[in-house]
Amino acid sequence: MLNSHFDLAAAARAEMLQDGFQPDFAPGTEQQIAALRARPLAASGVDMRDLDWSSIDNDTSRDLDQIEVAERVPGGIRVRVGIADVDSAVDKGSPIDQHAAQQTTTVYTAAKIFPMLPEALSTDLTSLNVAQDRAAIVIEFVVSADGQIGSSDIYRAVVRNQAQLTYNKVGPWLEGTAPSGLTPQLKLQDEAAQALHQERHRLGALEFDRVEAEPVVSDGHVTDIRAAHKNRATDLIEDFMVAANEVMARTLQNAGASAIRRVVKTPERWPRMVELAGRYGEKLPDEPDSGALNAFLQKQKAADPVHYPDLSLAMIKLMGPGEYVLSRPGDENQGHFGLAAHDYTHSTAPNRRFADLVTQRLIKAVLVKQPAPYTDGELAQIAAHCTQQENAARKVERAMGKRVAALAFQSRVGQSFQAVVTGVTPKGVFVRVMNPPVEGRLMRGESGVDVGDQVRVTLLHTDPARGFIDFGR
């Protein structure tokens, strides 16, 4: 066990407070929860409890926002994505809603999860738990054999999750690397997801090979750190969620409703991306083109899968983060560059993202033809605040990730690693070791490098208390 005296949970809480979060819920929260427990299920809409719904999420997930079910129909496969109807339990302007509006997101750290909603809701009353009747918003769409989204609909329903599955179990089944545990239902979902996936990438959606650090923590203490990879199950859920969010965005737009969109603007550092491609003997267009970029990335992945994560990470960093914006009827949509999506919002995780809860309220008003619950000015303020808090959450998670990595790397000082430059800022040059995926600052030999450069580094020092990991060349 490494540095057993360092309190990760206390460090995480201090980091939250420093970056403008309030980890504690306001007075009145417990009374609101008690009233919710006494309130009967908001059983509005279609009774869909008998369908073969299932969820697929991380091994430890308890806040289940969505469930899925598919059926073959003339013209393709009908996919239904059930989204937890959080709004039915969280009244607009209530103490819990005010807290969610300030936090805007659940923050995940290795030591502690800081939920946007009280766990009595997010992991119980508004979580789509197995064998529990729950209110939901269902986003339905038909996927054709070539991956096109045909007819679609959104409506309220009562649902019941029949099986809580995990990425780590379903992924190997889908990939054929484990004894098959697939049901016909999962096979059908995978068929629809694969069609969506292929069509998305034909249109130019980017496919990055993301490798994330996954700490091994026992009783608040770090014992190891390892790489966590995407698999076919994570792709399945991602493809369904992208499609569901596109349907939601188009439905709101067609109804003439203002909404919050999720956008990723054209990369400002496209010239650097062109330069990186040139190092591999490839030429990207002078103007940003997601299709051309994805074709280059997939070619490199096939040619050199070992080093592809380095290139993939560099391109992710150069892409820049997404943001939330107000979209009014008649506005030109900015789109999502990375997904090659013209219409896109966030609506599939209302237990852990406030923007999704707001979108849920907007669509429910549309469904019953009532006035929008927010003005355009309020939506613009919410979008800006959600972006600000998301950036702050990323800062907290990154800082805690560094502390965890510093703990795990204490015994590896003096070892050498292959790394990729991930940031060149006035504060310094930052690199990421790929195996295991850990980021630190380049303290020696940093002159003349830029994002995307591959370098050989040596671990010089770690400081868990400050989250410092120092490398040299």
Among the ranges 294-298, 345-349, 426-430, which has the highest mean pLDDT value? 345-349
Is the predicted pLDDT of residue 370 greater than 90, yes or no? yes
Q: What percent of the chain has pLDDT over 70?
A: 93
- At 39, phi and psi to the nearest 5? -85, 135
Torsion of CA 398, 245, 377, 361, to 10 degrees: -110
The alpha carbon of residue 330 and the mean position of all alpha carbons in its chain are separated, in whole angstroms, by 28
Please state the rounded mean pLDDT for residues 416-433. Answer: 89
Q: How confident is the model at residue 269 (pLDDT cuts 50, 70, 90)?
A: confident
Q: Give 98-146 pLDDT, tens digit per residue.
A: 999 999 999 998 888 999 999 999 999 999 999 999 999 999 999 999 9
Is the predicted pLDDT of residue 1 greater than 50, yes or no? no
CA-CA distance, 172 to 177, in Å (whole number)?
Answer: 5
Q: What percent of the chain has pLDDT over 90?
A: 59
pLDDT of 218: 66
Of 419, 167, 182, give the one whose Cα is nearest residue 310. Answer: 419
Q: Which residue in this structure is represented by tokens 């067609």?
A: 254
CA-CA distance, 361 to 87, in Å (whole number)?
Answer: 7
CA-CA distance, 391 to 386, in Å (whole number)?
Answer: 9
Mean per-residue pLDDT of the chain:
89
Residue 166 Cα distances to 43, 207, 352, 416, angstroms: 28, 22, 19, 35
CA-CA distance, 211 to 21, in Å (whole number)?
Answer: 28
Tally of CA atoms within 13 A in the half-sphere of 248 that contains its CB: 33
Please state the rounded mean pLDDT for residues 304-330. Answer: 81
pLDDT of 387: 96
Is the predicted pLDDT of residue 339 greater than 70, yes or no? no
Total-model pTM: 0.86
Domains parsed from the chain with CATH numbers: 8-253 (no CATH), 409-473 (2.40.50.140)
Of 254, 190, 18, 6, give the one whose Cα is nearest residue 110. Answer: 6
Classify residue 189 by its DSSP letter: H
Torsion-angle region of residue 448: left (phi > 0), alpha (psi -120 to 50) or beta? left
CA-CA distance, 191 to 189, in Å (whole number)?
Answer: 5
pLDDT of 3: 46
pLDDT of 2: 44
